[in-house]
């Protein structure tokens, strides 16, 4: 059995910002990432020259760590652009915490940006079929998530209306968020009549296609108190994976979040029922159900019933994806870093109309590939240390 010595509460997020959400014509992915970064740094009076740890992973630049340093005009001690899909930025937070604790860097900047909506010609997809899948021409990534949804329906009797509850809740949260890209009312009738994309997934089951950027600034817990009134401490962080392609997934109804979540909760010394705010990577509605189950908020097979009656919507029992998520707020290719920004803003009390009252503990969860890479963070205010 491995020993887990994650430095609980030794590092903290002090700045968190988004930029260009929705459409940002004329800006490159790096322009967007840098703009969000400068905004996050300025929140706490820091300059790019004070950053010595860079973490980034752009969709159209596989050497983005080097480009990022060049763009900022700095020579960081650590440059990291690990790519595990949308979960990458939560793994960046894990490595940043370890680097800060070991003295490898003092100010870590984690950033992402994408102009996928307005870029001419679009972006090259990271999804590629294996030799076993190619003859069947499975559409990617939506076809992969349709497979998981179909299997879940077969195993547990999931109804389309229950998937609809996820989409409706996300839209209701988005309507409280002035930065959300899609804020029009969405009814269950609208959802059920929506165009089918890959049976049983309709267009309202799918994330948005937008531009956008996000960034967070991390420092040691000691320094955090000098920079911000309400730091957000990283209490637990873990990642897990069990496949690359959907056809190699051991069980289409269970993700590796079972493992990343359990380790992150153990590190933090808390349990799912302690969490006030849950930010999940909802590239598709099935994601929200799978992650609620795999992270321990409800039992396997009970996700559909769990979200009924507006339970995860504003005013419900559990605040989930309070910015509107990838389904209604923003999804510029990879959404993981936005879960961290929203969790941070909630714990700092800066979420405006969508603010969850007395939020002390938050969970941010990222997903990469075809339910392939899972990463979980548990975040808390000083009271939780």
What residue segments make up the domains of the chain, in order of their start?
11-122+210-233, 140-199+236-384
Cβ neighbours of residue 230 under 8 Å, at least 6 residues apart? 347, 348, 349, 381, 382
Whole-number Å distance between alpha carbons of 285 and 126? 21
Q: Check residue 2 and give its pLDDT.
A: 54
Structure tokens at 39: 């905004």
Q: Check residue 131 and give its pLDDT.
A: 59
- The predicted model scores a pTM of 0.95
CATH code assigned to 11-122+210-233: 3.40.47.10
Q: How high is the mean pLDDT of the chain?
A: 95
Asked if 11-122+210-233 and 140-199+236-384 have one fold, the answer is: yes
Beta bridge partners of 215: 17, 111
Whole-number Å distance between alpha carbons of 30 and 36? 10
331-344 per-position pLDDT tens digit: 999 999 999 999 99
Select from 11, 66, 19 the least CA-distant residue to 40. 19
CATH code assigned to 140-199+236-384: 3.40.47.10
Q: Report whether pLDDT(305) > 50.
A: yes
What Å distances lie between residue 239 and 36, 43, 260, CA to CA? 25, 29, 5
245-282 per-position pLDDT tens digit: 999 999 999 999 999 999 999 999 999 999 999 999 99
95, 99, 105, 107 alpha-carbon torsion, rounded to 10°: 50
169-207 per-position pLDDT tens digit: 999 999 999 999 999 999 999 999 999 999 999 999 999
């Amino acid at each position: 059995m491995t020993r887990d010595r994650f430095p609980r509460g030794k590092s903290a997020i002090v700045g968190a910002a988004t930029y260009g959400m929705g459409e940002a014509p004329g800006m490159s992915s790096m322009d967007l990432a840098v703009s969000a970064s400068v905004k996050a740094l300025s929140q706490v009076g820091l300059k790019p020259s004070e950053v010595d740890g860079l973490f980034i992973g752009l969709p159209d630049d596989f050497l983005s760590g080097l480009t990022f340093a060049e763009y900022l005009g700095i020579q960081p001690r650590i440059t990291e652009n690990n790519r595990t899909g949308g979960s990458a930025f939560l793994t960046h937070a894990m490595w940043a915490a370890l680097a800060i604790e070991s003295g490898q860097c003092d100010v870590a900047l984690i950033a992402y940006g994408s102009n996928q909506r307005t870029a001419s010609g679009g972006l090259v997809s990271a999804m590629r079929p294996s030799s076993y899948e190619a003859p069947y021409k499975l559409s990617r990534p939506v076809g992969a998530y349709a497979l998981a949804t179909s299997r879940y329906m077969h195993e547990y009797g999931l109804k389309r209306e229950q998937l609809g509850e996820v989409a409706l809740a996300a839209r209701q949260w988005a309507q409280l968020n002035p930065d959300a890209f899609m804020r029009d009312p969405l009814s269950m009738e609208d959802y059920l009549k929506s165009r089918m994309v890959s049976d049983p997934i309709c267009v309202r089951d799918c994330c948005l296609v937008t531009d956008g950027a996000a960034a967070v600034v991390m420092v040691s817990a000691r320094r955090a108190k000098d920079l911000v009134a309400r730091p957000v401490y990283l209490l637990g962080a873990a990642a897990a994976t069990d496949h690359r392609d959907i056809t190699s997934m051991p069980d289409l109804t269970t993700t590796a979040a079972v493992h990343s979540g359990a380790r992150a909760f153990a590190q933090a010394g808390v349990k799912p029922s302690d969490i006030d705010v849950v930010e999940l990577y909802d590239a598709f509605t099935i994601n929200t159900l799978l992650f609620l189950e795999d992270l321990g908020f409800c039992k396997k097979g009970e996700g559909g019933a769990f979200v009924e009656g507006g339970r995860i919507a504003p005013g419900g029992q559990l605040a989930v994806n309070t910015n509107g998520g990838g389904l209604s707020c923003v999804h510029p290719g990879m959404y993981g870093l936005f879960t961290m920004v929203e969790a941070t803003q909630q714990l700092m009390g800066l979420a405006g109309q969508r603010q969850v009252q007395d939020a002390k503990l938050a969970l941010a969860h990222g997903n990469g590939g075809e339910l392939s890479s899972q990463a979980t963070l548990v975040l808390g205010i000083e009271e939780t240390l």
